[in-house]
Amino acid sequence: MSEIIKVLIVDDSELTREIIKNILEKDPAIRVVGIAENGLQAIECAQRLKPDVITMDINMPVMDGLKATEQIMAYCPTPILVLSSVLEKEGAYTTFNALAAGAVDAMEKPSLVENTTWDEMANVLVKKVKLISKAKVITHIKGKMQEIFRHKEQVLHQASHNYEIIAIGASTGGPSIIMQILKNISPGCNASIVIVQHMAAGFTESFVEWLGNNCKVPIKLAQEGEKIEQGHVFVAPNGCHTIVREKRTFGLVQGEPVNGVKPSVDILFNSLAEVYGDSTIAVLLTGMGADGAKGLKHIKDKGGFTIAQSEESCTVFGMPKVAIEMGAANKVLSIEDIICALNTMNKNRV
């Protein structure tokens, strides 16, 4: 029999705590070992109970979920699943700050405490808890980046090659890493950057705003027919697949999920392989499943430069692992080395 997953629930609403507890404990593999009403209680319970997973509310009295996450990740690192209402703009923004502080993933919490509403997301909640219970709690690199760049730079490809576009695919654990990449990209980067980040519906717009407020490069959601401008960052919207077309424009296409997700990294990467070919740099980051691996191989086969995130730096070594095993990656790199590589190759553009 597999080990029981011990969960600490943190929420200021007694009714919400009870609903979450009932949902989780219907699964025999999960046991709720503690309840906390605010961030201070959460820190104490995390240290005392040592849960495998914490579900974390954001807006709470005494101490909010962001501050609690920061303290827990500093003193007793634990996989944290943030539960936040996307209808509350401030709460959604704070959610991404919590992800940057070390929380593993986030999902929407129904704004109305109704059993029918919660029933619709019960299976997702259970799956998320099981997934992040296996996630590695990694050291975040925010404070180390400048020192790393002063002492480390790698020339990883032909200095004369002209790269037009950088594509990034990510899932669980991706938002904070994407922010670090964009914050530390060379100021003179002329390549276009396009990102697919698997994310719960409703969070993508806040993700773009959060990135824009923390990074100096212009960032926006990709739109149908939009010209792909140099030096700009585009994020694939939720609910459709993003592709690039022959005239260097974006297309937003409907259709079934691919690899269980929409937007799919594979769909974007495959279109980039055909349109941009060897002028593409593609990066596949942390995440569960296999989305992006085949597309990364397609780009490599077309002469583009491909990078997979290293196992030791991944929160979930799923997507990069599949890509590495199928020979899709030119290089397997840590986050620090990915940033150095992108800056080196961008600097060497002709």
pLDDT of residue 117: 72
pLDDT, mean of residues 165-181: 95
Question: Which residues does the annotation mark as catalytic?
Answer: 171, 198, 291
Q: What is the pLDDT of residues 261-287, one digit of tens each?
A: 999 999 999 999 999 999 999 999 999
81: left (phi over 0), alpha (psi -120 to 50) or beta: beta
Tokens for 69?
């996450």
C-beta of residue 318 within 8 angstroms of C-beta of residue 287: yes
Distance CA 118, CA 236 (A): 28
158 vs 202 pLDDT, higher one: 202
CA 297, 299, 301 angle in degrees (round to 5)? 70
Q: What is the pLDDT of residues 121-155, one digit of tens each?
A: 899 999 999 999 989 875 444 434 444 444 444 44
Distance CA 289, CA 286 (A): 10
Nearest to residue 7, comparing CAs of 73, 90, 80? Answer: 80
For residue 204, give Cα distances in angstroms to 24, 197, 200, 253, 335: 26, 8, 8, 17, 22
pLDDT of residue 114: 56
The three-state DSSP-derived secondary structure of 33-67 is EEEECCHHHHHHHHHHHCCCEEEEECCCCCCCHHH
Q: What is the pLDDT of residues 227-256, one digit of tens each?
A: 999 999 999 999 999 999 987 899 999 989
- Whole-angstrom distance between the N-terminal and C-terminal Cα of the chain? 58
Tokens for 27?
């699964």
Cis peptide before 187 (omega within 30 of 0): no
C-beta of residue 280 within 8 angstroms of C-beta of residue 305: yes
289: left (phi over 0), alpha (psi -120 to 50) or beta: left
Go through the domains of the chain in sequence order and give each one's CATH number.
5-132 (3.40.50.2300), 143-347 (3.40.50.180)
* pTM given for the model: 0.88
- At 87, the pLDDT band (50, 70, 90 cuts) reads low
What single letter denotes the amino acid at residue 248?
R
